[in-house]
Amino acid sequence: MSTTGSPPAGHERRPRRRLRVLWWILGSIGALVIAAVVGIVVWSQVGVMGAEPEPLAAVRSNPDITITDDSAAIVLAPTSGGSDVGLVYIPGAKVDAWAYAAKMSGTVAQDGVTVVITKPWLNLAFFDLRPLSAFTDLVPGVDTWIVGGHSLGGVRACQLAVDADALALFGSYCANDLSGSGLPVLSIGGSEDGLSTPQKIAEARSQLPADAELVQIEGASHSSFGDYGLQDGDGTPSISDADMTARLTELVGAFAAGL
């Protein structure tokens, strides 16, 4: 009897085996992706450095500051009206946005600058893909915008700087080249910063325009730029919180006034 046209039994099993292997590979890759996403989400919520209650309470009770708590950001505005300059401030990695309110309070109350402190996705600025307009649109009356940030938030601010009128770095430095941007830049570092060290800031100087203003605050550490307690790997600050706030107010106020 002729068997022409009947494939061998082994030939039928091979495609099925290959299909099962393919589904196993795809399933394994999917499981790894899901595990990675879950791991990142969990990690981003663990060890977040919260705002110290006393400095925050002082900001909340300050009659010269009006606070709006939006899902995207915290807006600190001068109660009696201010200048037409605003600052979008991006927090450092895993630092609560409220932890920067006290250090920026003088900039708002004394210099009339509206400060918008962002709430980064997953508490990490690199994961926050929103454009600068997502934050500037919260304050339609402001025409001139500085974008700035602390630590990793400053690195993200450098990436958004092309859409701003100026850049301010707080214990941070740029990873992208803005040397030919023509932007006004204020870079504030701390002599005792153990993370964004004076050496690291100096090494990244070439990323900024030639006329960028670099200032080092004596006695300031990395955590001196906020109110969230001491930070692992940081130096020991010798400047008081009150003096640090006053110095930041002076520097940012003068920078904003010159725009």
| DSSP summary character for residue 210 | T
Q: At what angle do helices 101-109 and 53-60 cross, to 10 degrees?
A: 30
pLDDT at 32: 65
User: Tens digits of per-residue pLDDT, 42-51?
Assistant: 444 556 899 9
Q: What tokens appear for 71 in the block? A: 């899902």
Residue 214 structure tokens: 């670099």
The encoded tokens of residue 184 equal 């006004």
| CA contacts within 13 A on the Cβ side of 6 | 5
Residues 86-143 pLDDT 10s: 999 999 999 999 999 999 999 999 999 999 999 999 889 988 999 999 999 999 989 9
Helix spans in 46-81 (H):
53-60
Which has the closest alpha carbon to 71: 108, 114, 118, 115? 118
Inter-helix orientation angle 241-257/101-109, to 10°: 50
Q: Helix, strand, coil shares of the chain as percentages rounded to 5? A: 40, 20, 40
Structure tokens at 81: 């009206």
Task: Note the pLDDT of residue 48.
Answer: 84
At 214 the pLDDT is 98
The reported pTM is 0.84
**182 neighbors 161 (Cβ within 8 angstroms):** no
The pLDDT assigned to 161 comes to 98
Going by C-beta distance under 8 Å and a sequence separation of 6 or more, which residues neighbour residue 124? 44, 93, 94, 152
The segments of the chain whose pLDDT lies below 50 read 1-3, 42-44
Tracing tokens 């107010």 back to the chain, one arrives at 249
CB 88 within 8 A of CB 145: yes
β pairing state of 166-170 and 144-150 = parallel
Distance (Å, whole) CA 118 – CA 90 = 5
